[in-house]
Amino acid sequence: MSEEIKDETLNEENESVEETTEEVEVEEVEEVIDEVAELKKLLSEMEDKYLRSHAEMQNIARRSREERETLVRYRSQDLAKKILPSLDNLERALAIPEMDENVRKGLEMVQESLNNALKEEGVIEISPKDEVFDPNEHQAIQSVPAADGVASDTVVEVFQKGYKLHERILRPAMVVVAS
Amino acid sequence: MSEEIKDETLNEENESVEETTEEVEVEEVEEVIDEVAELKKLLSEMEDKYLRSHAEMQNIARRSREERETLVRYRSQDLAKKILPSLDNLERALAIPEMDENVRKGLEMVQESLNNALKEEGVIEISPKDEVFDPNEHQAIQSVPAADGVASDTVVEVFQKGYKLHERILRPAMVVVAS
């Protein structure tokens, strides 16, 4: 075989390789490059979805914790409110002067145990005699001229005690205010 | 320009293209194919993360809803438990025979309003006289021989009423059982 012929054969082989390579570039490489772009877009979208879902999860967990704390803190609100009339009735019964000493003791025990139960659950009495009138906790049902030495806006009488559960008003105190 | 020279120039250009193409295939195409594989892996991992996070979010939301329902359902449990001794005291006071009629009426009002408050909150009395003894709700403090016509395991006397909040026992009834 002459050197020329050998070269030609090599050239033919090279041309065949060149054709295959050309095909890869034009069809497949462009396809693959498109796929990369598409995959990057999908990945970015999925990452967004994940981040949003993760943030939402943390929000739900936080809200649920706060809600639980509030529910626990004020859990006794409904029953406590419904018990207040019983306390009023007890006080009225104890105000009756002609009462057997045993009955009075029994009533005072009931009153004390009810008050203790409420106190343990966070219920606080509002009985603002001689305090400054506070429209957030007191309801003025009467106004009287201030006596000497009494500042105006002073609560001079409590008609009916109020109650709050922690800082939440169950019912305001009904009061008479000096004006 | 002769036909031959033109052909040679084209050949040179073709060779140059061939070299570039070779480079694209060997370095960049392999790189891009690796990138596709890597991106597919990342996308699949991110999708897993998203799905896990989404499932966890749904779990947290469901658990939190269940927990809230339980908290609301049994919210009055603590205060109700603490009020039961007051009801016992009231009953004992009302059992005193020599009592002023006004005082008795007052006490009965207190008792009724307490019972109503508890009932409205879902508290149910357990007072199983003549019922079959139920160890889930009753506590036997005494056993007596069954009288004629009384089946054994019958509650023949209730020493102290029990109470439940919905289906949850606040305290069992203290009873005497026929044996």
pLDDT in tens, B77-99: 999 999 999 998 888 888 878 77
Partners of B12 on chain A (C-beta within 8 Å) are none
For domain B77-178, say whether CATH 3.40.50.2300 is its number: no
Q: Residues 138-167, chain A: which have Cβ within 8 Å of B?
A: none
- Joined together, the tokens standing for residue A87 give 């306390």
Mean pLDDT of chain B: 86
For residue B80, the chain A residue with the least C-alpha distance is: A79
In the three-class reduction of DSSP (H, G, I as helix; E, B as strand; rest coil), residue B25 is classed as: helix
Over residues A154-167, the mean pLDDT reads 96
Over residues B100-124, the mean pLDDT reads 89
pLDDT at residue A134 above 50?
A: yes
- Is the minimum CB–CB distance between A107 and chain B shorter than 8 Å? yes
pLDDT confidence of residue A27? 75
pLDDT at residue B9 above 50?
A: no
Size of interface A-B (CB pairs under 8 A): 180
Over residues B14-26, the mean pLDDT reads 54
CA distance A49 to chain B (A): 7
Q: Residues 46-65, chain A: which have Cβ within 8 Å of B?
A: 46-47, 49-50, 53-54, 56-57, 60-61, 64
Percentage, residues of chain A above pLDDT 70: 85
CA distance A122 to chain B (A): 10
Give the closest of B36, B42, B47 to A35, CB-based. B36
Locus of tokens 């914790």? A65
What residues form DSSP beta bridges with B144?
B178
pLDDT confidence of residue B168? 97
Banded model confidence at residue B100, pLDDT cuts 50, 70, 90:
confident
Over residues A138-147, the mean pLDDT reads 95
Over residues B53-61, the mean pLDDT reads 93
Strands B173-178 and B138-144: parallel
pLDDT confidence of residue B132? 96
Percentage, residues of chain B above pLDDT 70: 85
pLDDT at residue A10 above 50?
A: no
pLDDT confidence of residue B1? 44
pLDDT confidence of residue A131? 96
Calpha distance B25→A22 (Å, rounded):
9
pLDDT tens column, A17-28: 555 555 556 677
Locus of tokens 């004006």? A179
The answer to whether residues A103 and A145 touch, using CB atoms and an 8 Å cutoff, is no
Calpha distance B84→B88 (Å, rounded):
6
Phi, psi of B136 (to 5 degrees): -75, -25
Give, for A168, the enclosing helix (H) or strand (E): strand A168-171
Over residues B5-15, the mean pLDDT reads 49
What residues form DSSP beta bridges with B162?
B126
Which residue type does B36 have? V
Lowest pLDDT segment from A12-21, A61-70, B105-114? A12-21
Q: What is the DSSP letter of B121?
A: T
Partners of A103 on chain B (C-beta within 8 Å) are 93, 96, 99-100, 103, 107
The answer to whether residues A178 and A147 touch, using CB atoms and an 8 Å cutoff, is yes
Helices (H), ranges, A24-179 = 30-73, 77-94, 101-120
Check B121 against A60: CB less than 8 A apart. no
Q: Residues 14-53, chain B: which have Cβ within 8 Å of A?
A: 14, 17-18, 21-22, 24-25, 28-29, 32-33, 35-36, 39-40, 42-43, 46-47, 49-50, 53
* Largest CA-CA distance found in chain A, in angstroms, rounded: 143
